């Protein structure tokens, strides 16, 4: 009995240590990024675009990357919603048969884990085919591919949770499928759908590999969809790679801003879904 | 009434169109990459591409062997480090932790999953690389710290959330009755976990590991930032390496100016896609079966 | 000509047959109760009368259901018009995810009823009930003068019919989910009646309710039967005795006996019916 107890105690200690390690790593990441970033952050970092000699340590800020990232992530979210929402709706029983639904889930799962560098490469091919260079549009296209499976799966899960009885009521009053979907299903699933969008937004804004080829990098804030654009993840990447400590400090600040946006998005998902759950049936 | 019907049928049509589009993307991506990779496949045999170590784009020699070894090595290190930590954590969360602890830890783990990979890379450059350099120095190998080991460590951290959350979920699908039956026979909690819970959840746990593997296999930025990027077959943990995703990301700038270079990189992307999609589908079917059973 | 007739109706779920060769006429303007032990196919029968059964993907239906002489399973049948004609009350009341007000107007809005149609519907409602004026003169007046006032009138009338008006008149725009279960079921009744169906299907509508709400609903059904054909599923024999004019007894998916309530309860022809009515099988 003693040995059995001992084994249990040993493994329990190992488990606690493992979980502790995981949580400690998370804390270390957040703390290090916050601490380093906070010391490097200044108002001009947030409000200015790079001036001459910026990459040698002179004046300027990363407003180009902040605005660029927001453009990219918003644009890609919109594009992705246009495809995700109808797809998620179509996976309801009234629409897709069992086979089509499972095939669609399968291809979404195949897309889900596809490395973002692959989307970047594919986006690059498409852009070459269409004859556009590195641009906001190209970045949005590549990012929306990355967001699509994340968004669709999360939306579909929310829609699947809508009680069948609720739809029955709507149908029993003579509603068509689209009327039921828009008036009842959309409303009931709205908190989950919003969470899905914000989740995908958070993933999208942090991704670097897909926009590396497609969005390019520039010191200016883009004026049109065909202008190249800077982005926060690439600002971290490029500036950290320079040999100048002054510029590296800006990478710290960029990382902090990016992390804060991602954390805010995840917080917003929680708050928004509560805000929109006024009417929903539990 | 007629208008409502027309609206319904229009809506239905556009939904099916969206579904068709969503379904075709994975094929379009594969097709696009394949078309672009064809030129290099036409000039060099697949065996040559996969097993040659000569990488001289200017001379038209594209041997992917060092990159493939680099990818496999860095992924393997990540999995060796991550699997025990993740499984122990998952078992604790599912079997020992109070429900409240579980509900508290879960969003935190989700948060870990949402952190951008450049942030992981950034943190690894600041924390992991110096640590590896110091350890390497202490062990008598002079290393910059930008190495296979640093890449493996940061990848392991990045796959924590996937493996932990999926395997916790799978462990929780094991029915309470199975645990009760074992406990009633006088087994300890740990023996119950070992012999009953883990055994019946084994397929799902494997699936969670497969998912983690495919995530690690295709991860680009974080690894790129710490792995050193030297196109040679690494011989020690402290050697630099050059995984496939990093190869693609680092060379997009010049790939259009050297013949066949873009084709070679697109082939690399295609290989990544096929490997990762294959593993994802494997996990998909395994988890689907578990979901249906529970 | 009976309103609803079933002709050798069969319902199969995958390989399990839920209903076997049901042929019966449901009499007009009466309350028909479907009784039988749980799992005997009562709900399946009810849901095949307005094709809600289509929503369960495994269900296969053979045979005919004629409503006003039209087979609703004909491939060209107009399901939406059918469902408008056939109202449905579910076992557990599900408020739609919107306000109390919007729950009542859901059907009329969807069917795009105009002002005049609504006024006419209200006039007919009041005539049928021979109750005189349902709503006070002031409501009618504002309904005539204010834009959208006809919907206010409609909401008030049907909430009064369902006996809910006084309890909710001050919070019409609150989420319907805030109502008690009994109130929710009366709201469901108001919502169903607001599209003026000709047939009402009710699936144990009182089983989730407190005795007082249940009594209100039962009394309402006594009123409704003057105008509607009602099919009422119940597993409570006493309730079937109390409210039913006609009885259909199902056992293991088969139609064992049907006839006027008086006859089925006092002198059943079949041995199984006798045993069930006596409480020997359940």
CA terminus-to-terminus distance, chain C: 34
pLDDT digits (tens, 9 = 90+) for B82-127: 999 999 999 999 999 999 999 899 888 988 888 999 999 999 999 9
**Which chain B residues are closer than 8 Å to A263 by Cβ?**
111
Number of domains in chain B: 1
At residue B144, does pLDDT exceed 70?
yes
- Picking from A14, A205, A252, the nearest residue to B88 by CB comes out as A14
Report if residue B99 sits inside a domain: yes
User: Taking CB atoms and an 8 Å limit, are B4 and C81 in contact across chains?
Assistant: no
> Among all residues of chain A, which has the CA nearest to that of C100?
A279
Structural domain span for residue B109: 66-239+287-293
Report if residue B235 sits inside a domain: yes
Poorest-confidence range of A100-109, B70-79, C221-230?
A: C221-230
pTM for the structure as a whole: 0.87
DSSP, residue by residue, B209-237: HHHHHHHHHH--HHHHHHSB---S---ST
For all residues of chain A together, what is the average pLDDT?
A: 90
pLDDT digits (tens, 9 = 90+) for B193-214: 988 899 889 999 999 999 999 9
CATH of residue B117's domain is 1.10.3720.10
Report if residue B127 sits inside a domain: yes
- C12: exposed, middle or buried (C-beta count within 10 Å: 0-12, 13-18, 19+)? middle
A89 CA to centre of own chain:
21
Q: Which pLDDT score is estimated for C132?
A: 57
- Options 3.30.70.1900, 3.40.50.300, 3.40.50.880, 3.90.1150.10; CATH for C1-95+198-282 is 3.40.50.300
List, as ranges, residues 127-186 from A with C-beta within 8 Å of B: 145, 148, 152, 176-179, 181
Q: Report the gap between the CA of B285 and the closest CA in chain C (Å).
A: 22
Q: Report the gap between the CA of B51 and the closest CA in chain A (Å).
A: 22
Q: What is the average per-residue pLDDT within A92-113? A: 89
Q: Which pLDDT score is estimated for C1?
A: 45
CB-based contact, C70 to chain A, within 8 Å: no
Poorest-confidence range of B45-49, C222-226, C227-231?
A: C222-226
Q: Which pLDDT score is estimated for A122?
A: 94
For chain A, helix, strand, coil in percent to 5 are: 75, 0, 25
**Which chain B residues are closer than 8 Å to C113 by Cβ?**
none
Tokens linked to B274: 């096929």
Q: What is the average per-residue pLDDT within B2-16? A: 91
pLDDT digits (tens, 9 = 90+) for B226-246: 999 998 898 999 999 999 999
Report if residue B57 sits inside a domain: no
Q: What is the average per-residue pLDDT within C193-204? A: 90
Distance in angstroms (rounded) separating the CA atoms of residues C95 and C194 = 15
**Which chain A residues are closer than 8 Å to B157 by Cβ?**
25
A126 CA to centre of own chain:
22
CATH topology for A42-279 is MetI-like fold (1.10.3720)
Longest dimension (CA), chain C: 63
Question: C22-33 burial, b for 16+ CB within 10 Å, e for fewer?
Answer: bebbbeeebbbb
Tokens linked to B65: 């062997």
For all residues of chain C together, what is the average pLDDT?
A: 87
Helix (H, G, I), strand (E, B) or coil at B242: coil
**Which chain A residues are closer than 8 Å to B220 by Cβ?**
115-117, 208-209
Distance in angstroms (rounded) separating the CA atoms of residues B171 and B198 = 7
Residue A68 contacts residue A222 (beta carbons within 8 Å): yes
CB-based contact, B4 to chain C, within 8 Å: yes
Question: What is the number of H-type helices and E-type strands within chain A?
Answer: 12, 0
| Pick from C73, C224, C90: nearest CA to A173 | C90
Q: Which pLDDT score is estimated for B244?
A: 93
Q: Which pLDDT score is estimated for C201?
A: 92
Q: What is the average per-residue pLDDT within B44-73? A: 89
Domain boundaries, chain C: 1-95+198-282, 98-178
Geometric angle at alpha carbon A262, from A257 and A267, rounded to 5°: 120
Tokens linked to B61: 């020699």
**Which chain B residues are closer than 8 Å to A233 by Cβ?**
116-118, 221
Distance in angstroms (rounded) separating the CA atoms of residues A151 and A85 = 8
For all residues of chain B together, what is the average pLDDT?
A: 91
For B128, the enclosing helix (H) or strand (E) is none
> Among all residues of chain A, which has the CA nearest to that of B85?
A18
User: Taking CB atoms and an 8 Å limit, are C86 and A172 in contact across chains?
Assistant: yes
């Amino acid at each position: 009995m003693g040995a059995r107890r001992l084994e249990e105690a040993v493994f329990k200690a190992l488990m606690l240590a493992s979980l502790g390690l995981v949580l400690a790593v998370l804390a270390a990441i957040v703390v290090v990024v916050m601490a380093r970033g906070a010391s490097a952050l200044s108002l001009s970092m947030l409000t200015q675009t790079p001036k001459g000699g910026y990459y040698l340590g002179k004046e300027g800020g990363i407003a180009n990357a902040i605005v660029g990232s927001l453009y990219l992530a918003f644009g890609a979210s919109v594009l992705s919603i246009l495809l995700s929402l109808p797809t998620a709706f179509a996976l309801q029983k009234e629409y897709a048969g069992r086979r089509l639904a499972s095939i669609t889930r399968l291809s979404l799962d195949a897309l889900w884990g596809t490395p973002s560098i692959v989307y970047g490469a594919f986006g690059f091919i498409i852009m070459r085919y269409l004859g556009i260079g590195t641009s906001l549009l190209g970045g949005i296209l590549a990012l929306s591919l990355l967001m699509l499976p994340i968004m669709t799966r999360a939306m579909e899960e929310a829609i699947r949770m809508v009680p069948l009885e609720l739809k029955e009521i709507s149908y029993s009053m003579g509603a068509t499928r689209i009327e039921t979907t828009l008036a009842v299903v959309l409303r009931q699933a709205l908190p989950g759908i919003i969470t899905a969008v914000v989740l995908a937004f958070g993933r999208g804004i942090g991704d670097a590999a897909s926009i590396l080829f497609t969005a390019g990098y520039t010191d200016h804030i883009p004026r049109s969809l065909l202008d190249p654009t800077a982005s926060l993840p690439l600002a971290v990447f490029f500036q950290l790679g320079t040999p100048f400590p002054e510029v590296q400090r800006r990478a710290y600040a960029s990382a902090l801003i990016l992390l804060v946006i991602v954390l805010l998005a995840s917080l917003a998902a929680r708050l928004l879904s509560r805000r929109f759950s006024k009417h929903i049936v539990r | 009434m007629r208008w409502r019907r027309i609206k319904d049928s229009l809506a239905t049509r556009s939904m099916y169109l969206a579904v068709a589009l969503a379904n075709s993307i994975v094929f379009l991506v594969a097709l696009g990459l394949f078309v672009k990779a064809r030129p290099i496949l036409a000039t060099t045999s697949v065996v040559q591409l996969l097993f040659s170590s000569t990488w001289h784009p200017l001379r038209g020699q594209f041997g992917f062997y060092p990159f493939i070894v680099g990818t496999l090595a860095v992924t393997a290190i990540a999995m060796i480090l991550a699997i025990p930590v993740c499984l122990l954590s998952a078992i604790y969360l599912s079997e020992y932790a109070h429900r409240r602890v579980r509900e508290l830890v879960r969003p935190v783990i989700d948060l870990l999953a949402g952190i951008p990979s450049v942030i992981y890379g950034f943190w690894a450059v600041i924390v992991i690389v110096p640590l590896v350099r110091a350890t390497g120095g202490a062990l008598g190998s002079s290393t910059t710290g930008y190495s296979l080991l640093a890449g493996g460590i940061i990848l392991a951290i990045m796959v924590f959330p996937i493996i932990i959350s999926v395997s916790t979920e799978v462990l929780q699908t094991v029915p309470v009755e199975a645990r009760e039956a074992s406990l009633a026979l006088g087994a300890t909690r740990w023996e119950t976990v070992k012999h009953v819970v883990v055994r019946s959840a084994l397929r799902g746990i494997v699936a969670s590991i497969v998912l983690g593997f495919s995530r690690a296999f295709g991860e680009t930025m974080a690894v790129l930032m710490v792995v050193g990027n030297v196109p040679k077959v690494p011989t020690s943990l402290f050697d630099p390496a050059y995984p496939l995703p990093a190869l693609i990301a680092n060379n997009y700038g010049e790939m259009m100016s050297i013949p066949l270079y873009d084709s070679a990189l697109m082939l690399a992307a295609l290989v990544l896609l096929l490997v990762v999609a294959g593993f994802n589908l494997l996990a998909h079917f395994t988890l689907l079966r578990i979901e249906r059973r529970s | 000509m009976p309103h609803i007739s079933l002709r050798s109706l069969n319902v199969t779920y995958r390989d399990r047959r839920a209903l076997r060769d049901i042929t019966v006429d449901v009499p007009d303007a009466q309350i028909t109760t479907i009784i039988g032990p749980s799992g005997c196919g009562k709900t399946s029968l009810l849901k095949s009368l307005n094709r809600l059964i289509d929503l369960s993907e495994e269900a296969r239906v053979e045979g005919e259901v004629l409503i006003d002489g039209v087979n609703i399973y004909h491939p060209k049948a107009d399901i939406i018009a059918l469902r408008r004609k056939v109202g449905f009350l579910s076992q557990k009341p599900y408020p739609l995810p919107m306000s109390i007000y919007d729950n009542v107007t859901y059907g009329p809005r969807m069917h795009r009823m105009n002002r005049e149609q609504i006024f006419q519907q209200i006039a007919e409602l009041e005539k049928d009930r021979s109750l005189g004026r349902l709503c006070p003169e002031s409501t009618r007046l504002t309904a005539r003068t204010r834009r959208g006032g006809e919907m206010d009138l409609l909401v008030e009338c049907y909430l009064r019919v369902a006996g809910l008006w006084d309890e909710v008149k001050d919070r019409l725009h609150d989420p319907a989910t805030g109502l008690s279960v009994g109130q929710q079921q009366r709201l469901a009744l108001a919502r169903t009646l607001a599209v003026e169906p000709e047939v009402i299907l009710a699936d144990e509508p009182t089983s989730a309710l407190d005795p007082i709400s249940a009594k209100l609903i039962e009394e309402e059904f006594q009123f409704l039967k003057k105008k509607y054909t009602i099919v009422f599923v119940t597993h409570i024999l006493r309730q079937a005795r109390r409210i039913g004019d006609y009885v259909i007894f199902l056992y293991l998916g088969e139609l064992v006996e049907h006839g006027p309530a008086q006859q089925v309860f006092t002198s059943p022809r079949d041995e199984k019916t006798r045993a069930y009515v006596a409480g020997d099988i359940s």
